[in-house]
Amino acid sequence: MLVTRSAAIAAALSCAALAAGCSVKPPEDPFAGEWVDLTHALGPETIFWPTDGDFVHKENFHGHTEGGWYYTSYDITLPEHGGTHLDAPVHFAEGRQSADEIPLERLIGPAAVVDVSEQALADRDYRFTREDVLAWEADHGELPEGAIVLFRTGYDQFWPDRTAYMGTDLRGQEGVDNLHFPGLSEDLAEFLAEERNIGAVGLDTPSLDYGQSKDFIAHRILLDKNIPGFENVANLGELPPVGATVIALPAKIREGSGGPLRIIAHLPPG
């Protein structure tokens, strides 16, 4: 069993206090509670942008070696933007942070889960509005500093069916032209970038911008402020509107415009 230095110190202090006839409450376990995986697994069925390639998992060796022990090793090839992934600011903003430059403070923070699933499931081209967030704030208070704002559309239920999830199974430019899924409006992106001090924005669709966007304005506004995006997030329906802490750690790709993301959430006990 691994015992951390801080835990060992706490235990020693507790023992010393008991020996002295004192009662000291041991520190609470900061990891107690529930953990929720917000990540789609990478595999052959993983959804990528229509103009990108697919995930390739190539076997190098699988089986028993001449020495008699088991060993397995694979190569992987994949675009930066696909599956559950990061959009680094440099993806749409020249001179802004790349994947390896994003400070951890923007990748770990309190979750604010804004449920827009009713509107999004009724209209594949729905764009989340400032009013959606203001309605959330009326119930839960202003978005906290450093919040990771997660928009739940309910589209993760369609994964990995490309047609149901993206609106089309076509590839290339024809596929891009036929994309239909919800995303952020220009007005909302400006509101989050200019009037709130948030850490990051995520959602359970393929893009911060809605599928029919031709100018990717939400990307341009948010990423220009070094606000990273998390796309193709999963299981947002398992999180409450407030109370969870998100940990979103992407592959630390030097000069990367994005990359695979392992994103989880912690819900404290009670």
Per-residue pLDDT reduced to its tens digit, 36-85: 999 999 999 999 999 999 999 999 999 999 999 999 999 999 999 999 99
Model confidence pLDDT, tens digit, residues 71-95: 999 999 999 999 999 999 999 999 9
Number of CB atoms found within 10 A of residue 41's CB: 11
- Contact at 8 Å (CB) between 117 and 154? yes
Tell me, letter by letter, the H, E, C secondary structure of 213-259: CCCCHHHHHHHHCCCCEEECCCCHHHCCCCCCEEEEEECCCCCCCEE
**Does the pTM of the predicted model rise above 0.85?**
yes
C-alpha span between 79 and 182 (Å, rounded): 22
pLDDT of residue 2: 41
Closest alpha carbon to 150 in 251, 46, 235: 235
**Angle in degrees, CA 237, 36, 31, rounded to 5:** 140
Q: Is 56 helix (H, G, I), strand (E, B) or coil?
A: strand
Q: In this structure, are strands 245-250 and 108-115 parallel, antiparallel, or unpaired?
A: antiparallel
- Contact at 8 Å (CB) between 231 and 208? yes
- Contact at 8 Å (CB) between 231 and 155? no
Q: In this structure, are strands 85-87 and 229-231 parallel, antiparallel, or unpaired?
A: antiparallel
C-alpha span between 211 and 181 (Å, rounded): 5
Each residue's pLDDT expressed in tens, for the chain with a length of 270 residues: 344 444 544 544 454 444 444 556 777 888 899 999 999 999 999 999 999 999 999 999 999 999 999 999 999 999 999 999 999 999 999 999 999 999 999 999 999 999 999 999 999 999 999 999 999 999 999 999 999 999 999 999 999 999 999 999 999 999 999 999 999 999 999 999 999 999 999 999 999 999 999 999 999 999 999 999 999 999 999 999 999 999 999 999 999 999 999 999 999 998
